[in-house]
Amino acid sequence: MKEISIHPVLVFWLAIGWIGFIVLPWYGIEDGFFGLEWLLDGYPFELDYAPAAFLIAAGEKLWLAPLIVALVAPLLVLNRRKTEATYSRVLIASGGLGFAWLIAQGFGIGIRGYSTDWLVFLLGELGDRQFGMGYGGLLVASSFLFMLTQGIAARGAVNGDVFVVGTIGGIVAIVTIFVFFPITKMLSSAFSSDSGYSVLEFASKMFDDRLWGLACLSGGRCGAALNSLFLAILIGTLTTLLGLTFALVVTRTGFRHKRLLRALTVLPIITPPFVIGLALILLFGLSGSITVFLADVFGTQPTRWLYGLPGIAIAQTLAYTPIAFLVLIGVVEGVSPSMEEAAQTLRASRWHTFRTVSLPLMRPGLANAFLLGFIESMADFGNPLVLGGNFDVLSTEIFFAIVGAQYDQGRAAVLAMILLFFTLSAFYAQRKFVGRKSYTTISGKGDAGIHPLIPAGLAIPVLVIAAIWALFTAVVYGMIVYGSFVELWGVNNTVTFKHYVTAFSVRLEDSGIRWSGAAWDSFWTTIKIAIIAAPLTAIVGLITAYLLTRQSFPGKNSFEFGTMLSFAIPGTVIGVSYILAFNVPPIEITGTGVILVVSFVFRNMPVGVRAGIASMSQIDRSLDESSLTLGANSWQTFRRVILPLLRPAILAALVFSFVRAMTAISAVIFLVSAEYDMATSYIIGRVENNDYGLAIAYSTTLIVVMLTAVGIFQLLVGQVRIGRRTEFAPAG
Amino acid sequence: MAQARIVGKAAPVSLRQVTKIFSGDVIAVDNVDLNIATGKLVTLLGPSGCGKTTTLRIIAGLEMATSGTILIGNQDVTNLPATDRDVAMVFQSYALFPHMNVMENVSYGLKFSGYQKDEVRERALAGLNLVGLRDFGSRLPSELSGGQQQRVAVARALVLEPQVLLFDEPLSNLDAKLRRQVREDIRSIQRELGLTVVYVTHDQEEALAVSDEIVVMRNAAVAQMGTPRELYDSPIDSFVADFIGEANLIPCEIQRTRGNRATIAVDGYEYELPARGMQPGDATLAVRPSRLVLGQEAGIDGCIAKATYVGVRMEYTVETSFGSIFVVHDDVNTPLEVGHRLKVGFASSGPVLVNRV
């Protein structure tokens, strides 16, 4: 039996805490999170860059002094055994109190001294102030948090598993800070009016006819809430059906050009959403190519049919089917072939097998895909903005409530609450639908079966739909690429490279390469932010999925709710609430790259979570258990057994978050700054100046970059090896 | 090159008043006491839902006991998770990692046990050698037959030289012939290495064949424990009697007791046997089908209702005044006809008085 008397994990976090306290600057650095100039600029004695210990020694910021106690106390129990009560008590006390004090002083003392009136009233004017926390504060806070979780683990929570308790604590903390805190701040403004808080005001906004009107049944305009709901159900259904279609074509038919199809279905997600909208206008708008062509041939009158529900529906279907596909492909491949073979040996025909075995086994995946489509559609901002016409939806209404002339934070918050209600209801319905059935299909027994083909009666329509889709997608992308080489669409159709030159010109000078194009700044920022955000998103998402599927702990349901919440909140709301919450200490990151990374991580995390859950619920628990009985701890089990089996989910999470970081617009438009401009907000700026050529050229470049990135990710992660033979061995 | 050898590092296991309660009110294991000596193979036997697998998982550390103490090698492991216990387990589904080949599967646990790379390989090979799969290292689990997968799972557990080796119905996915062979293999490896093994099964024949000791469980509690012979020959109650082997449960009347002998009467037929502490009055007698003698002069009146030829013996169902009883008879050359009336007596030893449950 292993004797545990030193605690490597505790030593590690204590060291982190002390480094944060006596080595690194306590407060945020003006140059930004990644700037290193402070090292040469008077550190460690210059007060702006000084570590907390130096500050206290210099008699400054004395309210940081109590933290020393919380950092010293754990040193005294280092040689205690885990099972001793003192060990856990000291850790819980110092971790908990240290963390609480850190938070309290952060919120209590701001740029203008005490930040609330009652503190001033109680303690008098402070005569000092502090800025947002920096490296030091971050490290010390993490140290306290994980001390606390280790203390809780030592008391026997979750079987005393340090890794599990620590990850739960970590995720709860970051979700609270970066989701609940800003949203609470935002929602509290739903009740606020110019003169304090008012319930009447709230009610009048809540039951506004512009939200719930049914006038469209009689030729008028329906309310935005009903429009959004209808649209989201439509998109959820369409994308799920199409996604399933493609997943079946790729895995269950003799179709030969699967790789091509896979590539085509990935195209729309690597496209900024408004670009699909623009391309649709180029095709079907009043002076669009197809509209003009039809008018010439059949003499039909061009109409504005595209603007409104049809246009948004087409654009969103194009945009979100690939997400459903990515979710469903894993599920379709994960269905155990022996189940299907068993059905066939029970005299079920291929069609019966598909309908009674394969399809029900895919149910969790289908429900997930629908949920994603539904929520994506609800939160989409780019397409309704470009194609909405008179069809109001909630997400754009929120944007206009804040950005428009009305500037009504309260109305925006009310709209956000309705949106949240819809998405959460969908979430609940999905859970009811999936029920408690177990769909474990990758078991610990090697499965030597082969997936059967789907019946011909199904294969033909499925292939036809896939072909039509492929053709349509090809046309849309043809328009985008072609549009980027046209001087001025619809007016002067001369082919030119001018837009690319303006955006991406490079000059060789004596001092080296000069990136003289107009787009380079925002381009490099975007790449940098996306590369940082993608792996963070995947890690947080998959660890959360692991906790949700594999561990049981008190409060698991609220934990799941919390981690999925950020997905249900449209980007516009995230953007505004982040500005409200993170513009002031203790977390002061507005205008930095960090706020962009954080917003991407928390907006995209639920995709990682869902993909992880879908895959993990198909991996038999006995695999984890056997790993545990073989002496691996839960972290090693996670890394060596679960992660390798999760490669498709990891790929989905990485690709999705990288791509979203490059294409997202709704939250970004609030969070960019002069220093950190993103590609999408730059493009939107060009569109506003009617510079369509440059906008489309830039978008095309982005698409190429993202394609490359997707390819690289695919290579890095590799194919999962679960040792299943396929019926279609490479021909030869 | 020095050959790595797998040796046993067996230790005793004890459970003291272990109780497991699921979700508030479902009692899965009820106050179980168990002492398993070093180097013994002990089987937990019982019908499904009797708590035997939960007990095994509590020993493994995959479930935490609600109350009670678990000792492995005299160390209190009650609150240790599976990772920190020196146990290894062979799962019913084998739980081979599908993304690793056989060699990687067998090496898996060794990597966490502080061995050098060479040693990991050597030990893994030795383990595979032990189960006769030396040349299968590079195969994936899906490329093996059921029996081979099973042996890989055993090798993977064995190479860790655990203090206790746990088997959760390891044979249930194998065909009958293979089952006999694998259980003999398991038993001979266990004896050779002197392993402490806890083995869960619902198959009484399997239990009788492999065990040093059998623990029969019923409704989350231990019904009886003892050597296979003890359980078979002197079951404590009608449940154990019927579960281990087959038994005819015959109502009888204890007429008198003298010392530790009792005289009973069944349908007017008198018989003497150990009293087992019972008092005169109504009682239940358990008699194995092979301990009934057909055509004796003294006995119970009966009439042959069914006669079945099964090769090595004849099986008869005999109708009596208190219901039908099941009898096996070695004489296959002169079978009795259906409808034949005769006396059925008891062999000189075998029938036991049991508590009715």
pLDDT attached to residue A440: 46
Neighboring chain A residues of B80 at a CB cutoff of 8 Å: 160
Q: What angle do CA A635, A638, A640 make, to 5 degrees?
A: 105
* B314-320: strand order across its sheet: B292-294, B341-346, B300-309, B314-320, B323-329
The answer to whether A625 contacts B82, with C-beta atoms less than 8 Å apart, is yes
**Of A415, A256, A395, A210, which Cα lies nearest the Cα of A312?**
A395
- Alpha-carbon dihedral sign for residues A203, A206, A209, A213: negative
Task: Tell me how far apart the alpha carbons of residues A473 and A456 are, in angstroms, rounded to a whole number.
Answer: 25
Domain termination residue (choose one: B178, B211, B233): B233
Q: What angle do CA A116, A117, A121 make, to 5 degrees?
A: 125
Closest chain B residue to the Cα of A620, Cα to Cα? B95
Neighboring chain A residues of B83 at a CB cutoff of 8 Å: 628, 631-634
Q: pLDDT of B169-182, one tens digit each?
A: 888 888 888 888 88
Neighboring chain B residues of A634 at a CB cutoff of 8 Å: 81, 83
Q: How far is CA A671 from the centre of its chain?
A: 16
Q: Which two tokens stand for residue B180?
A: 């006999």
The answer to whether B149 contacts A446, with C-beta atoms less than 8 Å apart, is yes
- Alpha-carbon dihedral sign for residues A617, A621, A627, A628: positive
**Predicted confidence (pLDDT) at residue B199 exceeds the cutoff of 90:** yes
Could you identify the residue written with the tokens 């060009």?
A686
3-state secondary structure of B202: coil
pLDDT attached to residue B304: 93
**C-beta atoms surrounding A606 within 10 Å:** 23
CATH of the domain at B226: 3.40.50.300
Select A216-481's CATH number: 1.10.645.10, 1.10.3720.10, 1.10.10.60, 3.40.50.300: 1.10.3720.10
Q: pLDDT of B270-299, one tens digit each?
A: 899 998 888 888 999 999 998 999 888 888
B109 — pLDDT class (breaks 50, 70, 90) = confident
**Predicted confidence (pLDDT) at residue B196 exceeds the cutoff of 90:** yes
Residues 159-178 of B with CB under 8 A from A: 160, 166, 173
Q: B250 has which bridge partners?
A: B285
Give yes or no: residues B195 and B288 share one domain. no
Task: Tell me how far apart the alpha carbons of residues A498 and A501 are, in angstroms, rounded to a whole number.
Answer: 5
Is B326 a member of any domain? Answer: yes
Neighboring chain B residues of A640 at a CB cutoff of 8 Å: 108
Parallel, antiparallel, or unpaired for β B213-218 and B352-354? unpaired
Q: pLDDT of A202-238, one tens digit each?
A: 777 777 777 777 777 776 777 888 899 999 999 999 9
Give yes or no: residues B44 and B143 share one domain. yes
pLDDT attached to residue A295: 83
Neighboring chain A residues of B140 at a CB cutoff of 8 Å: 446, 721, 723
Closest chain A residue to the Cα of B78, Cα to Cα? A159
Neighboring chain A residues of B157 at a CB cutoff of 8 Å: 629-630
* Highest mean pLDDT, choosing among A724-728, B3-7, B44-48: B44-48
Give yes or no: residues B161 and B203 share one domain. yes
A230 class by beta-carbon count within 10 Å (0-12 exposed, 13-18 middle, 19+ buried): middle
- Point out the residue among B83, B143, B156 whose CB comes nearest to the CB of A632: B83
Task: Tell me how far apart the alpha carbons of residues A429 and A433 are, in angstroms, rounded to a whole number.
Answer: 6
Is B5 a member of any domain? Answer: no
Question: Where does chain A hold its CATH 1.10.3720.10 domain(s)?
Answer: 216-481, 523-717
Task: Tell me how far apart the alpha carbons of residues A35 and A25 are, in angstroms, rounded to a whole number.
Answer: 12
**C-beta atoms surrounding A224 within 10 Å:** 25
| Nearest CA distance, A137 vs chain B (angstrom) | 34
Neighboring chain A residues of B100 at a CB cutoff of 8 Å: 644
Contact A615, B81 (CB under 8 A): no
Neighboring chain B residues of A161 at a CB cutoff of 8 Å: 81
CATH of the domain at B348: 2.40.50.140
Mean of pLDDT values over B302-327: 91
Is B8 a member of any domain? Answer: no
Mean of pLDDT values over B14-29: 89
The answer to whether B91 contacts A632, with C-beta atoms less than 8 Å apart, is no
- Point out the residue among B79, B88, B93 whose CB comes nearest to the CB of A445: B93
Q: pLDDT of A419-443, one tens digit each?
A: 878 877 887 777 676 654 445 455 5
Give yes or no: residues B91 and B206 share one domain. yes
> Max alpha carbon distance in chain A (Å)?
89
Q: Which two tokens stand for residue B340?
A: 């034949």
Give yes or no: residues B160 and B288 share one domain. no
Comparing A198-212, B302-316, B327-341, which segment has the lowest mean pLDDT? A198-212
Is B2 a member of any domain? Answer: no
Q: Give B274-336 as a DSSP string.
A: E-TTPPSEEEEEEE-GGGEEET-SSSEEEEEEEEEE-SSSEEEEEEETTEEEEEEES--SSPP
pLDDT attached to residue B207: 92
pLDDT attached to residue A1: 39
Task: Tell me how far apart the alpha carbons of residues A20 and A8 are, in angstroms, rounded to a whole number.
Answer: 18
The answer to whether B95 contacts A640, with C-beta atoms less than 8 Å apart, is no
Give yes or no: residues B115 and B200 share one domain. yes
Closest chain A residue to the Cα of B152, Cα to Cα? A445
Q: A109 has which bridge partners?
A: A114
Select A523-717's CATH number: 3.40.50.10490, 1.10.3720.10, 2.60.40.1930, 3.90.550.10: 1.10.3720.10
Give yes or no: residues B22 and B93 share one domain. yes
Could you identify the residue written with the tokens 């008179």?
A390
Residue A358 φ then ψ, to 5°: -60, -50
The answer to whether A625 contacts B89, with C-beta atoms less than 8 Å apart, is yes
Give yes or no: residues B205 and B254 share one domain. no
Number of structural domains chain B divides into: 2
The answer to whether B83 contacts A447, with C-beta atoms less than 8 Å apart, is no
Give yes or no: residues B86 and B227 share one domain. yes
Identify the H or E element spanning B272. Answer: strand B269-274
CA distances from B205 to B46, B209, B242 (A): 12, 6, 13
Contact B283, B353 (CB under 8 A): yes
Give yes or no: residues B199 and B299 share one domain. no
Q: Which long-range contacts (CB under 8 A, 24 or more apart) does A555-559 make?
A: A559/A168, A559/A171, A559/A172
The answer to whether B166 contacts A720, with C-beta atoms less than 8 Å apart, is no
| Nearest CA distance, B140 vs chain A (angstrom) | 6
The answer to whether B89 contacts A626, with C-beta atoms less than 8 Å apart, is yes
Task: Average pLDDT across each block of 10 residues of chain A; the chain has 732 residues. List them in order.
Answer: 63 90 82 67 73 83 86 86 84 91 84 72 73 84 91 81 89 89 80 64 74 73 86 93 85 72 67 79 78 82 83 88 81 70 65 76 83 84 81 83 72 79 79 57 51 73 82 83 80 81 81 80 89 89 87 83 73 78 78 86 82 80 87 86 81 79 80 83 79 84 84 67 40 32
For residue B339, what are the domain limits? 247-354
**C-beta atoms surrounding A461 within 10 Å:** 10
Q: pLDDT of B206-263, one tens digit each?
A: 999 999 999 999 999 999 999 999 998 889 898 999 888 888 999 999 999 888 899 9
What pTM was estimated for this model as a whole?
0.73
B41 — pLDDT class (breaks 50, 70, 90) = very high
- Point out the residue among B73, B95, B143 whose CB comes nearest to the CB of A625: B95
The answer to whether A634 contacts B84, with C-beta atoms less than 8 Å apart, is no
Closest chain A residue to the Cα of B108, Cα to Cα? A630
Q: Which residues of A touch B (CB under 8 A)?
A: 1-2, 4, 83, 156, 159-161, 442-448, 620, 622-623, 625-634, 636, 640-641, 644-645, 720-725
**Predicted confidence (pLDDT) at residue B47 exceeds the cutoff of 80:** yes
CA distances from A141 to A29, A145, A601 (A): 17, 6, 20
Domain termination residue (choose one: B184, B199, B233): B233
Instruction: Name the amino acid, one letter, at B189.
Output: I
Closest chain B residue to the Cα of A725, Cα to Cα? B142
Give yes or no: residues B96 and B219 share one domain. yes
The answer to whether A448 contacts B94, with C-beta atoms less than 8 Å apart, is no
Closest chain B residue to the Cα of A157, Cα to Cα? B79
* A·B CB contacts under 8 A: 125
A457 class by beta-carbon count within 10 Å (0-12 exposed, 13-18 middle, 19+ buried): exposed
Q: Is B93 on the interface with A (CB under 8 A)?
A: yes
Closest chain B residue to the Cα of A162, Cα to Cα? B81
Closest chain A residue to the Cα of B75, Cα to Cα? A1
Give yes or no: residues B97 and B223 share one domain. yes
The answer to whether A622 contacts B95, with C-beta atoms less than 8 Å apart, is yes
Neighboring chain B residues of A159 at a CB cutoff of 8 Å: 64, 81
- Point out the residue among A444, A447, A634 whose CB comes nearest to the CB of B91: A444
Please give the residue that has the higher pLDDT: either B128 or A657.
Answer: B128
| Nearest CA distance, B225 vs chain A (angstrom) | 27
Contact B235, B354 (CB under 8 A): yes
